[in-house]
Structure 1
Amino acid sequence: MAASDLATDLKQAMPDLRGSLQAGVSLADLTWFRVGGPAEALFLPADADDLAYFLARLPGEVPVTVIGLGSNLIVRDGGIPGVVIRLGRGFSEVAVEGTRITAGAAVPDVKVARAAGDAAIAGFSFLRGIPGCIGGALRMNGGAYGGETRDVVVEVETVTRKGEKVTLSNADMGYSYRHSSVPDDMIFTRATFEGRTGDAEVIAAEMAKITESREATQPIKSRTGGSTFKNPPGTSAWKLVDAAGCRGLVVGNAQVSELHANFLINLGGATAADIEGLGEEVRRRVKETSGVTLEWEIKRIGVPKAG
C-alpha cells in the first residue's frame, strides 16, 4: 500500500479524528541527528481521547511506532512502515500541586526540572541533564547525575494498541537500568511524579551545575543523539570506547565525538547508515579490546534504504 493510500484510507475510516494524519512525512527533521527516511503515515493526535479513538479503529496489521523529541533516536534511511505517532501540543501540560507534578508525555524533561525548581520541589534536578521528553524518560527509565525516573514516578497514564486507557503504578513499570518492562505497544500520555520539599536556591544551584557540566563535557551544540551506549556493570561506556581507540573515529560523515567518546555526531550530510555503522564499528572494537559487548542506548528504528 502506498503511503498516500494508507493515510487516505485511515482518514476515511475515522471521520471523527481531530489530529493531523499525513502521508510520507520526512522524519529527519524530527530527530536530533537530522537523518532518516519518511513515515508511511504520521499521526499527531489532538489529545489522549483522540489517540484512543485512532488506535481503537486502526487495523491490527498496521505497524505502530511512537517517537518523542527524537533526541535519542536513529531513524533508518528507508523510513518507517505503517503509522508513526508523535505526541505534541495536546500532551504538553505541566501542573504542580504540593510536591506533586503532573506532566504530559511530550513535555521536555528540562521543563519539568524547571517547574520543580520554581516550586522548590527537590528530586527532579537530574532531568535537567536528559535531552528528551517525559515519554522517553518513562520508557527508558531515563537518568543522569545520580537520579533516575523511577525515583520520582507515582503513576503513568497510557493508551493501549486497542485504544484502551490504562493507568500504571510505579511498580507496574518494571523498572531497571535504562529499561521498563511495559509492552512497547502501550503509549504513555501523562505521568504524575512526587518530589519532596526543598530549597529553591539549592535546587537552582544543582541545575546550574548540571548545565555547566553538560556544556563542558558533551557535544550538545552538535547534531548528536545523547549517550550512545549503556554503561556496563562496574564501568563507563566512554572509557571502553576510549580504550579501544575510537575517540574521533569517522565512518562516512559520522564521527565519535572528540569531546565525549560515548556520543556520535553527524558532521553534516551523514546518513542513518553512517551513524549506525559507526556505532557498530565501535561495538566491534570494544568487544575486541575488552571482551565487553556494549548495548545500544540510542533507539534504532525503521528499515534500511533499499539498494
Structure 2
Amino acid sequence: MIVHQHKSLQGEMHRDHPLASYTSFQAGGSAEIFYRPMDMNDLRTFLEMLPENSQLTWLGLGSNTLVREGGIKGAVICTRKTLGKISVQGNQVYAEAGVSCAKLAKVLARYGLSGGEFFAGIPGTVGGALAMNAGAFGSETWDFVEEIEVIHRDGKITAAGREAFDVGYRNVMIPEDQWFCAARFVFHTESSESARSNIRNLLYKRNTSQPIGLPSFGSVFKNPEGEHAAKIIERCGLKGYRVGGAYVSDKHANFIINSGTATAEDAVKLIEYIQGVVKEQTGYFLEPEVRIIGDAP
C-alpha cells in the first residue's frame, strides 16, 4: 500500500509500527501504516488520500483488542490522545471518538449529570464504546445516545439518530465503510457530589472484583443469555490455566492476563482452549468479546 506523509497531513505517521504498547494486553504485531490524526479535519484529509482498495483498521485505547503476531495490513488509525473534543450543553454531551470513557465520566460528574457513571469502569474510548455498545454495572453506551456522527471511507461525515442503527448486546450494526466518529448523549441531571459518589462506588466494586492494573483485554467473552461467562469458566476449573505467558485470572475467570512474556498467539490458543472445554462440559459456546484482528504469524 502506497501512502506518503503528504504536506497537507498534520498527524503522526509510521510504517511497520509495533502495536503492542497500544493495547492493554501489551502484545501483538505491527501496523503496515500507523496514523494518528491531529484532529477531525486531518482525519478527513487522510481518508481522502488513502487508496480506495486499502484495508482500514481503527484503534482506540486497545483495551478490548488482540493484534495477532502477523500484524495488520493497510492503515491503522489510532484515536488515542486525539479526536478529544467534548462539550456540554444542559444535559446533552457531545464527545468525539478519541475521548476516553474515564474522562467522559469525570465531565459528567463535574456538570452534575447522572446515568453515565458506568463509563468510569470502561477502559476504552467513546469510539470503541459506540462500536461495541460497551457496558458495565447494568448500563450500556447506547442507552444514552441521541445522535451519532459517522465518517465514511471517503472522509465525508454524516449525522443520524439512534434509530438508524441496529443495536444489540455488545454489538452495533454499521456498514463496513463507515465508522463512528462522535456522538451526542443525553443524561439525567443530578448533583455533582452524588454523581462522584456513584463513580467511587462503581470503581470500588470493579477494583475488588477484577484484576485491575494487570495487562489484560478486560472481559474476554460475552455473557450467554441468563448466564455469566466468568462463572461458567470457573465451574469448568479453568482459573489459573496457562498457555505460554497467558493465563486465566484467579480473581475473575473472564480475564486473561499477560504474565509479562505472553504473545498474542498464546492468548489466541488460550481463548480457543477455554471455548473447547466450556463447550464440552456445559454445551455453551462462549463468543469472544475481545476483538481479534491482524494476521496469524
Normalised-by-shorter TM-score class: over 0.9
| Aligned residue type for 1:297 | E
Q: Which runs of 4+ in 1 moved over 3 A?
A: none
Q: Which moved more, 1:58-67 or 1:287-296?
A: 58-67
| Aligned residue type for 1:69 | L
- Is 1:275 the counterpart of 2:267 in the alignment? yes
1:299 matched residue in structure 2: 291
1:94-146 deviation digits (Å, cap 9, x = unpaired): 21111111112111101111110111111111111211110110000011011
1:71 matched residue in structure 2: 63
1:85 matched residue in structure 2: 77
Distance 1:25 1:205 in 2: 41
Name the SS of the counterpart of 1:234 in structure 2. coil
1:139 matched residue in structure 2: 131
Name the SS of the counterpart of 2:269 in structure 1. helix
Gaps of 5+ in 1: 1-5
Distance 2:190 2:201 in 1: 17
- Offset of 1:185 from its aligned partner? 3.0
* Aligned-CA RMSD value: 1.3
- Is 1:123 the counterpart of 2:153 in the alignment? no
| Aligned residue type for 2:284 | V
Q: Which moved more, 1:23-32 or 1:195-204?
A: 195-204
- Offset of 1:15 from its aligned partner? 4.0
| Aligned residue type for 1:244 | C
| Aligned residue type for 1:241 | I
Name the SS of the counterpart of 1:54 in structure 2. helix
- Is 1:252 the counterpart of 2:244 in the alignment? yes
| Aligned residue type for 1:284 | G
Partners of 1:256 and 1:265 within 8 A in 2: yes
- Is 1:10 the counterpart of 2:6 in the alignment? no
| Aligned residue type for 2:287 | E
TM-score normalised over the length of structure 1: 0.94
| Aligned residue pairs, count | 297
Name the SS of the counterpart of 1:166 in structure 2. strand
1:195 matched residue in structure 2: 187
Distance 1:184 1:36 in 2: 24
Distance 1:297 1:61 in 2: 28
1:164 matched residue in structure 2: 156
Partners of 2:36 and 2:82 within 8 A in 1: no
1:3 matched residue in structure 2: none
Q: 1:45 aligned to 37, 49, 58, which one?
A: 37
Distance 1:56 1:163 in 2: 6
- The share of aligned pairs that are identical, in percent, is 38
2:217 matched residue in structure 1: 225
Gaps of 5+ in 2: none
Name the SS of the counterpart of 2:199 in structure 1. helix
- Offset of 1:32 from its aligned partner? 0.6
